[in-house]
Structure 1
Amino acid sequence: MTNEPLASKMRPNSIDDIISQQHLVGPKGIIRRMVETKRLSSMIFHGPPGIGKTSIAKAIAGSTQFKFRQLNAVTNTKKDMQLIVEEAKMSGQVILLLDEIHRLDKAKQDFLLPYLENGKIILIGATTSNPYHAINPAIRSRAQIFELYPLDENDIRVAIERAIENAEDGLASYHPQVEEGAIEYFATQSQGDVRSALNALELAVLSAQPEDDVRHVTLQDAKDCLQKGAFVSDKDGDMHYDVMSAFQKSIRGSDVNAALHYLARLIEAGDLPTIVRRLLVIAYEDIGLASPGAGQRTLAAIESAERLGFPEARIPLSQAVIELCLSPKSNSGIKAIDSALSDIRKGNVGQIPNHLRDGHYSGAKDLGRAIGYKYPHNYDNGFVAQQYLPDKLKDKIYYEPKTTSKTEQQFKSIFEHINQSQHKNK
């Protein structure tokens, strides 16, 4: 009897056996085309754990009959790589799957590069990190980069049913009888991680007491073996940033249900700092001047959440999200300051008008009085038309009001009145 995990034993032997990733291994997929023509190039697979990076690498080797070896960029040494290179020199080519390739050090990288160049080693790197940020450019430029996606529930179900029915590598010899509810639980709660689903299934079957040579697996058994549904939360990975992005875009799009869904993901990950920072950004970036009080109310909700901590923090956070979703939206504030910053960064600055210059040096106050700075509080409504921008920017408009709320409609009316007065004064 082998101690090899079920998920490992059930890996596909050819690309025809791969359950998902059809964008790569389907009829028109680039990896299938490479395999069929036996024109392989080095490649990097990136995506969450348990979605088939190692499986596809082994399936490529099985489909092409090339020798296949697997190393880890951290735990295996340069000497281990040397042995594989020697094997490649004798056999012609070796497919090398290198796990955690983003942690490959310079000495190992420099050793491998010549063999990637001459084709002796076909490198398949696997990583959960973004390769464009985490992998050394020297390796990245010599490999095709492919993103793999989490499996959907139907894919996981197929993998589970194969494992139950397979006698050689699967669980059929244990005569498992798995309830439909248990299969459904494994498929839905593994969150696209087939390794997690198969390992939980294996534990459930092997830990069940045989009854007349049959091992029954109930829904409760499934829950015991996959206790929290393998919720994916990688605070340093792409998925974390994808959830934050979806969270803000859902609020910006006024979709309450979607925003609450992504808030729940962040809550489940226990990531209060990210939630509160993003909510405050949204209040000023996306709601902005359409509802100026939303920022203050969001801050109050944030302070309450931070004092309460989880799980109670979910209450003020959810109320803030609902308000922000259903508030009128305006990005006029962020657009205005970004437009002004753009001018500054381009060097489009100009000289400050003399009548606005500070009196911290000798003669400045006299200069200001001579030119005639007009003190607005001395005029009706606290306004008097005069030039404030430098000459080269005097006609520049940064703020473009929106009309998505009564508040900003009022701002627009005041803004246009002031602009008209300024132009009449010129």
Structure 2
Amino acid sequence: MQQPLAYRMRPTKLEEIVGQQDLVGPGKIIDRMVRAKMLSSMILYGPPGTGKTSIASAIAGSTKYAFRVLNAATDTKKDLQVVSEEAKMSGTVVLLLDEIHRLDKTKQDFLLPLLESGSIILIGATTENPYININPAIRSRTQIFEVHPLTPADIKKALDRALNDKNKGLGDYPAVISEEALNFLATATNGDLRSSLNALELAVKSTPKNDQGNINVTQEIVEECLQRKALNSDKNGDAHYDVISAFQKSIRGSDTDAALHYVGRLIESGDLVSIMRRLLVIAYEDIGLANPGACQRTVAAVDAARQLGLPEARIPLANAIIELCLSPKSNSAMAAIDESLSDIRSGNYGDVPLHLKDAHYQGAKKLGRGVTYKYPHDFPNDWVKQQYLPDKIKNAQYYHPKENGRIESAFKSQYTKLRKSAGHQ
């Protein structure tokens, strides 16, 4: 039985990887590891189809190490022992361990000494946040890298390669794919290259040749193979992102009906991932401190939508969207952190005041660290006048509160009172 196109097109060297150039591009961290032959175990986390397995495969191919793939949830300790024995006999083995967040203690205890010795280079793959879902003992022995959804340009590059590759791809098929169909394949899977490649293979192999002997793959055929409608696609592939942009701007502008219209278009195209991610951004960027409770409820709605999946996911999402539209708005928190980051990136910061420096180690007091620090809980109302910012920027103000809701109005009152008590104007 022939393996799926996405499997056959898996890269065998770093140069073949599309996307993730911040990790595998020339001079970047994984490229440096491979060139220096100083591989360390790592965890790759990100959405499905974004290249985690491809990176592991390319690392193994570029270093000529044996490459093995196991699943932490379904493969046993005995399977790990087989890989361990192979490493003892033939040298280092690169092991891709999928769903590493589901690694149990027995398998973990078996793996740890192998990671310490370097006989196995572990590349863990997960869609879950490793800082929350992976055991600290594994985390401490690995580097953690985040992989991101591929751009439409990345996916088109991979699709073109698959269409022209006569050895592993579809180069022996007389396929002619329309630009609209290619753009739709590149945008409709939300950065999931695996889904795009497998849909392309189904489209090519299930379409009969025409009278000229060609296999014409149209947008309608791709829609059928992906089971998604091209409501948000145009000849340039931009309209999908235009709808996402209009969705956020409608909520920011408090137009409930427009927001529901645009999210309806995203739902019809099956793009649940973009809806959930955008809603989380909107909640904290556009509503923020004007209604923190709405932000929390949006997180709960997104979590419910993720567990339910479409079509039921539309219900908690609609609840969140309507509340965000009708909520007071404030971007003061985002503006505050961006202003702070601007100062730091321009070099406008100073040394941490001596009384705030860590004083928990022997000899710290001799260096004057923490000696004059005032513990706020020892004072009335748990507050005492004390400088916290470095001398260079001691009067800096980043947060400029708004009064667009009852909650942030209260924050403004407290913030203003505290700044005045601290001696700021």
TM range (shorter): 0.5 to 0.7
In structure 2, the partner of 1:324 is 327
User: Unmatched 5+ residue regions in structure 1?
Assistant: 231-245, 303-308, 332-345, 351-391, 416-426
Q: Flag the 1:121–1:271 CA change in 2: closer, same or farther, 3 A.
A: closer
How many matched pairs? 321
**Structure 2 CA distance for aligned equivalents of residues 279 and 169 of structure 1:** 43
Matches within 5 A, 1:271-420: 286-287=289-290, 320-324=323-327, 348=377, 392-393=380-381, 404=403
Q: Is the 8 A contact 2:287 2:331 kept in 1?
A: no
User: Unmatched 5+ residue regions in structure 2?
Assistant: 231-243, 302-311, 334-374, 386-398, 415-425
State the one-letter code of the partner of 1:217. Answer: V
- Do structure 1's residue 213 and structure 2's residue 216 form an aligned pair? no
**Structure 2 CA distance for aligned equivalents of residues 135 and 394 of structure 1:** 37
Shift of 1:312: 9.1
Q: Which moved more, 1:41-50 or 1:2-11?
A: 2-11
Matches within 5 A, 1:46-195: 46-195=45-194
**Structure 2 CA distance for aligned equivalents of residues 73 and 4 of structure 1:** 22
**Structure 1 CA distance for aligned equivalents of residues 290 and 37 of structure 2:** 55
Shift of 1:3: 2.2
**Structure 2 CA distance for aligned equivalents of residues 275 and 114 of structure 1:** 42
Shift of 1:99: 0.4
**Structure 1 CA distance for aligned equivalents of residues 65 and 405 of structure 2:** 69
Matches within 5 A, 1:227-266: 227-228=227-228, 254=252, 260=259, 264=263
State the one-letter code of the partner of 2:69. Answer: Q
**Structure 1 CA distance for aligned equivalents of residues 327 and 217 of structure 2:** 45
**Structure 2 CA distance for aligned equivalents of residues 155 and 277 of structure 1:** 25
Q: Is the 8 A contact 1:102 1:131 kept in 2?
A: yes
Q: TM-score under structure 2 normalisation?
A: 0.63
Per-residue CA distance 1:350-397 (angstroms, 9 max, x = gap): 9xxxxxxxxxxxxxxxxxxxxxxxxxxxxxxxxxxxxxxxxx449999
Shift of 1:177: 1.0
State the one-letter code of the partner of 2:106. Answer: A
Shift of 1:172: 1.4
RMSD (Å), alpha carbons: 4.8
In structure 2, the partner of 1:223 is 223
In structure 1, the partner of 2:11 is 12
SS in 2 for 1:124: strand
In structure 1, the partner of 2:345 is none
Choose 1 or 2 for highest CA Rg.
Answer: 1
Per-residue CA distance 1:120-164 (angstroms, 9 max, x = gap): 000000000000111111111111100001100100100111111
SS in 1 for 2:153: helix
Q: Is the 8 A contact 2:330 2:402 kept in 1?
A: no
State the one-letter code of the partner of 1:144. Answer: Q
Identity in percent: 44
Q: Is the 8 A contact 1:191 1:229 kept in 2?
A: no
Q: Which moved more, 1:2-11 or 1:276-285?
A: 276-285
Per-residue CA distance 1:97-119 (angstroms, 9 max, x = gap): 10001101111111111111111
Per-residue CA distance 1:180-221 (angstroms, 9 max, x = gap): 111010011110000011011111111101224321111100
Shift of 1:314: 8.0
Q: TM-score under structure 1 normalisation?
A: 0.63
